[in-house]
Structure 1
């Protein structure tokens, strides 16, 4: 069963806040900037970025990283990548680790 538009919007907002909170308390130097439902993470060691964005028409959360673009569908209780099958915390930790060059875990 697909999420309603209201469920999708609430899930996006909740997810972005959870990621911001995790970044505020993590040990890595990762800056973030949010503009509406686009969250840009910048790894200060090398300047690389990971961008998360809401795709309302598809009811998806997209993650753009050096390793590629990932589309995640909201499947309560969370987000699942439509190509790799990873949940959002696993995917985000993986792409941040790849770009940081050392193990990153946000603890989401």
Structure 2
């Protein structure tokens, strides 16, 4: 695969993932707001006043998640995103960090991303 094709695949995967997360947030029962500015999706948990930030890192073709518990780097491994340190897939990681920050279970029901 050429670098251009690889970058196009990465960009498509990021875009599809961010849209899926936005849709899941719209359907979630937990009081969360989100704002997307180009390559950054900021999720604000209203009850705790904390944020989880997802950002596109094109240079290294990763998706980064910044949460109160730390920073996580995810690589796209078909069929989804995997954390390079914890081995969690993106839905598991997001549910975990959101639950930790909310102080109650949060499930975005992302399933396979």
User: Normalising TM by the smaller chain, what interval?
Assistant: over 0.9
Q: Secondary structure at the match of 2:73?
A: strand
The aligned residue for residue 89 of structure 1 is 91
Task: Name 1:29's counterpart in structure 2.
Answer: 31
CA distance in structure 1 between the partners assigned to 2:53 and 2:36 by the alignment:
10
Among residues 100, 103, 107, which one is paired with 1:101 in the alignment?
Answer: 103
Instruction: Trace 1:68-83 onto structure 2 (pairs within 5 A).
Output: 68-83=70-85
Show the counterpart of 1:43.
45
Where in structure 1 are there 5+ consecutive unaligned residues?
Answer: none
What root-mean-square deviation, in Å, do the aligned CA atoms of Structure 1 and Structure 2 show?
Answer: 1.4
TM superposition score normalised by structure 2? 0.93
Shift of 1:37: 1.1
CA distance in 2, matches of 1:5, 1:72: 15
Equivalent residue pairs, number: 108
Superposed displacement of residue 46, structure 1: 1.5
Q: What's the CA shift for 1:84?
A: 0.2
